[in-house]
Structure 1
Amino acid sequence: MAAVRPRGDYGIDAPWVPWMWIGYTVLYAAITIAAATLWDAWWWVVALVGLATIGFAAGAALYWHTSLRGKFVLWDRLLSQTTLSGGSSALDLGCGHGTVAIMTALRFPDTIVTGIDLWRSVDQSGNTITAAQSNATLNGVQDRIHFDTGDMTALPYPDGTFDLVTASLAIHNIRSRDGRHRAVSEAVRVLAPQGRILIADIRRAKEYATDLRAAGLTVTTFPLGWRGWWSGPWMKTTAVTATR
């Protein structure tokens, strides 16, 4: 894992979620113990509640793994399937602590990378521009990464600026369909000729693919496997790749 996870602190995605799963685990464990003590004849109640406890514990463990380990493996795979020529530029939408921006800079040493975010802690714990800059410095790529504060639905960059545009678990945080459409449209607008868009996200992959195809790009979608399960297969990460 050390080979694919950059140095630094990258927070926890939607930090309230794994603590919710842990809370349910503790609650159902207490109910299981109480049921086993008070209802000896109702063994099936104890078994069902016990299974629920195990399920909540497994969900919490999967969530922590995906946030702390799995997403780095997934992005290492996606970036390994990407090529950028010397002097290229890349943009990471909703960059957070700089995970994908830094991984891009490390993999492509001749590429200038920009990350943009609104820096909301509800989306990622400790999410600040200072945290992202600190991680870039720890990995020795601070001279090739610039972080901006801005909205991905109204990007402050000229048309055709970037050879690669990435978005990791970010666009789905926009609640409205129109807002997500604007974010995808902005990604297309700032994409250079022959450029590529890489999105890894939950729930909205078909939506993004529809918008990208409507914009004239060639699109592929595919699931990224158990390392991208946010508590289970019902909340899986899907990749959407698009090229001009």
Structure 2
Amino acid sequence: MEKLKLSKNMRARTDSIFSEFLLRVGNDDEPTVADDLIALPTSILIKNQSDDLPEDCLINAIFPYLDENFKSIDYIKDRAILATKNEYVDMLNDRIIKQFPSEEKEFYSFDEAVDDTNHHYQPEFLNTLLPNGLPPHKLVLKKYCPIILLRNLDPTNGLCNGTRMHIQISQLKKFQKEWIILRSAEATYKNVKGSEKILKLIVADAKGNKIQAVMYGETIEKFIDMLQKN
């Protein structure tokens, strides 16, 4: 395995105006406006020329005619939107995913605090956390939508952290149907709201790989409903 480092700004090499702008910013020569903020050149701005929300204008500029090109891997792989906070990423993902015409598939995480015998950290609170490197509690996917791998699952075959991938509907169905329940146990626990059901499962895939899953409250009903549909 060879580790590569980025050392050159490729856009600055081919765009003299952008290159000069970066130099002025780095040398503290670029004029500032209120509160020492730098006004970006109009050439790199996306103007809102309609009644759409600014986020929708950004999405339409980066993913033009998405409804006609959503099946094209070449179209998807050459486009990306970067954001500074996870909450912005989730908001943009939600807006973009709604533009894909296919049916939604929802996946929920099962969060629990280790050795929390007094139940100080309720599942409802854990589900609201957005730590780096983990997907949101509710992950919505559609056929042909792009995803990014967050773990080094198989570096030899290119399945590394940051790998961009393309969803196929058969993969979503296969994911739901290949896992089988080996053992389950239902109980109740007390929290600030009173008593709530808890369902502990041990599931395995076709190769025998096992994981433990814990579900609380309404997630149990959604899980049972998913089993009945499949």
State the TM-score, normalized to the length of structure 2: 0.26
State the TM-score, normalized to the length of structure 1: 0.25
Which is richer in helix?
1
Q: Which structure would you say has the larger Rg?
A: 2
Of structures 1 and 2, the one with the larger relative CO (CA 8 A, separation 6+) is: 1
